[in-house]
Amino acid sequence: MFRTARPTRAASPIRALLLPLLLTVGPAGVAVAQTNFVMGQVLAEDGAPVAGAVVVATRAESGSERFDTRTDKSGRFAIIGMRPGIWDFRVSAPGFDPGGMPVRMAASRVHTPFEVRLRRTIEVPIVLGDLDAEALQVELAQARALLVAGRADEAIAAYRAVQSRVPALTSVQVQIAQAYRQKGDYEAAIAAYRAALANTSSERARLDLALTEIERGNIDAGLAELRAATTAPGASQDAFYALGEAHARAGNTGEATAAFEHASRLDRTWVRPYLRLAEMAAARGEPAVAREYFERVIALAPASPEAAQARARLGTLP
Residue 95 belongs to a domain with what CATH number? Answer: 2.60.40.10
pLDDT (tens digit, 9 = 90+) per residue, 80-134? 878 888 788 888 887 787 787 777 777 666 666 788 888 876 554 555 566 677 7
- Whether 138 is in a domain gets the answer no
- Whether 222 is in a domain gets the answer no
In whole angstroms, give the CA distance from residue 130 to residue 105. 57
Domain boundary (71, 102, 118) is at 118
Instruction: Compute the mean pLDDT over every residue in the chain, rounded to the nearest whole number.
Output: 81
- Whether 40 is in a domain gets the answer yes
Domain total in the chain: 2
- What lies within 8 Å, CB to CB, of 238 at 6+ separation is 203, 204, 207, 263
Ramachandran quadrant class, 6 (left: phi over 0; alpha: psi -120 to 50; beta: rest): beta
Q: Residue 241: pLDDT above 50?
A: yes
Domain boundary (118, 147, 181) is at 118
The mean per-residue pLDDT over the stretch 260-274 comes to 90
Host domain of residue 304: 268-318
pLDDT (tens digit, 9 = 90+) per residue, 126-141? 555 666 777 888 888 8
Give the pairing type, strands 76-80 and 66-70: unpaired
- Whether 208 is in a domain gets the answer no
CA dihedral of 3, 296, 309, 236, whole degrees rounded to 10? -70
Domain boundary (60, 83, 118) is at 118
- Whether 103 is in a domain gets the answer yes
